[in-house]
Structure 1
């Protein structure tokens, strides 16, 4: 028994045979290019196993078979290569993630942390014991000066300078130097950044007498609130007009490690940050209201604080102290103002001369002193205008 992979329409009869009967029906192909595949019958249907051999045969359940077309060899090879490539990429990514090192030997980001120090009394005691040890060793070896022996009221030692005495001298001297050499005085508003062979070891902010390891390099840092007032810097207002702005920056060192090891010149760095902020923020022009000035101050403070925070510097405020136009802009504005004043003055002079001429001609005509035609009137007006303008020019009015 065979079947086809395509759906077969209902059977249509063929033409009648010579005996008048109807021949066996066969399926008619609607698509001449369709292909058929022979499939064994046992793959089309599956029987449920019987409970026992004596039981009646179970009902056979028919299930349709799902038949898939096999792609051409070229497409199958290409799909196999694509799947293999995707698997290799996935495996490579997984291996990369698993093999990525955790960097255990890399130092974390530099940040301030407290250093290990001892009270100053520990250094004083260590130094005292070291000095006393040196004195006892000197008496033991017999090198103590006679005056000191007489003052102490003891007999001079007779041990001599042997290996034991030298070892005792070295130990006591090292203890004394180590104790007295590590004494330091902490002050309010000052801190020490400690380094050992170029590596940051901590910050000391404590006050009073302290003992710090004398092998550590100490860098004093001022952590008090400070002010910096710079020279006028270039800026611009909302209209793009060039300005010169002098600002006051209120700042202090917040993270001593970053501030000391991250930047060398704090004021130079703040100047660069202020210059960058002035290029991004439009400054309120001279004569602007209080609200515009406050908005400019807030914007400058926010930008400069964001730029200075990574290096451990805290910016409290950036206040514009003096805002003036650039020299070239000021010169152009001065010339424009002078020209406007001159034009206004000329307009006022011409208006006053015209009023004076009109008043004079009107009075002469109304009183009957002159009987003028149009040509004579125009001539008189011109002569009076020239005379009045010349008179005002001579008097400087």
Structure 2
């Protein structure tokens, strides 16, 4: 079922006609001999007044006639339609859905907490009214289902899967696009359009948060140490090359090994080193 526009008439002219009917009916009712005519005028005026409806900005009214959908009124202001039409107003404004924190498992089976914020609006009033039972509840349930599905397709972080191109934590831009696409496909049958969908909360579940934090810290320490060692080796290589180039001192292989060991201790150590002066030689 698709939305179709219902032609409506400005209600101001009908207000004037209704007032005229009621005034004449009252004047006639004042006479003792025209009660039937006065009743008819009052009845016609009251019936016409039932066709008046006010449509606010970003609002629509879905009209049915004895169970049959006849169209949607989208013109703002005071409008008049057939008094026998049953009208139901629907807001077309953008709405926020702040989803609850969901506990789900990511691709690797780790329990995580995830939540999303969805900005949506009704774009087809006929589908929203007749294709689903309650379109607002439909949006809530389908949004939760989409988030659960997305969380199970990807890992929380690249530490868990080094070959992963997209993760829930690092690929936020792509993840949001995929969430928006998934919601659009699920909610199109309810006549709902998606403005924006974003992950608002993402964290490990409390029972594994401590262990995962230690794992992340260990990985960070290993990465930092690797960078320090790479830099220290380069500096030692440069120092030996400079000493050899300028001819300051000639070192045999054993002395080079001792010098490399000392330099690496100085450059890679976490604390300041205390120099030890050797008054003799390496062999004494």
Q: 1:289 to 1:314 in 2, by over 3 A?
A: closer
- Larger-Rg structure: 1
Are positions 1:273 and 2:142 aligned together?
A: yes
CA shift in 2, pair 1:296/1:172, >3 Å: same
Residues 247-303 of structure 1: per-residue CA shift (max 9 Å, x gap): 000100000111122334334322322232233323563696986111111111111
After superposition, the Cα gap between the structure-2 partners of 1:122 and 1:335, relative to the gap in structure 1 and judged at 3 Å, is: same
**Which among 178, 203, 208 is matched to residue 324 of structure 1?**
203
1:331 is displaced (CA, Å) by 4.8
Alpha-carbon distance in 2 for matches of 1:256, 1:122? 28
CA RMSD of aligned residues (A): 3.1
SS at match of 2:7: coil
- The verdict on how the C-alpha distance between 1:323 and 1:254 changes in structure 2, with shifts beyond 3 A counting, is same
Q: Which residue of 1 aligns with 2:171?
A: 292
- How many residue pairs match? The answer is 213
Answer 1 or 2: which has greater strand percent: 2
Decide whether the 8 Å contact of 1:249 with 1:318 is kept in 2. yes
SS at match of 1:245: strand
Query: TM-score with structure 1 length normalisation?
Result: 0.48
**TM-score normalized with structure 2 length:** 0.65
Which secondary structure does the structure 2 equivalent of 1:248 belong to?
strand
Q: Would the aligned equivalents of 1:185 and 1:208 in 2 still touch at CA under 8 Å?
A: yes
**Residue 309 of structure 1 corresponds to which residue in structure 2?**
188
- Counterparts of 1:8-47 in structure 2, within 5 Å, are none
By how many angstroms is 1:111 displaced?
1.6
What is the deviation of 1:238?
Answer: 4.0
2:19 corresponds to: 128
The 1:289–1:243 alpha-carbon spacing in structure 2 relative to 1, beyond 3 Å, is closer
The 5 A counterparts of 1:1-397 are: 110-139=1-30, 141-142=31-32, 160=33, 165-281=34-150, 282-283=153-154, 285=156, 292-333=171-212
Cα offset for 1:134? 0.7
Distance, in Å, in 1 between the alignment partners of 2:185 and 2:51 is: 38
Mark the CA change 1:337 to 1:303 in structure 2 (over 3 Å): closer, same or farther.
closer
| CA deviation after TM superposition for structure 1 residue 334, in Å | 5.7
Q: Please, which runs of 5 or more residues in structure 1 have no aligned partner? A: 1-109, 143-159, 341-397
Which structure carries more relative contact order (alpha carbon 8 Å, separation 6+)?
2
Counterpart position of 1:17 = none
Q: Which residue of 2 aligns with 1:105?
A: none
Q: 1:173 and 1:289, CA in 2 relative to 1: closer, same or farther beyond 3 A? A: closer
Change (3 A) 1:279 1:198: same
In the aligned structure 1, how far is the partner of 2:168 from the partner of 2:112?
17
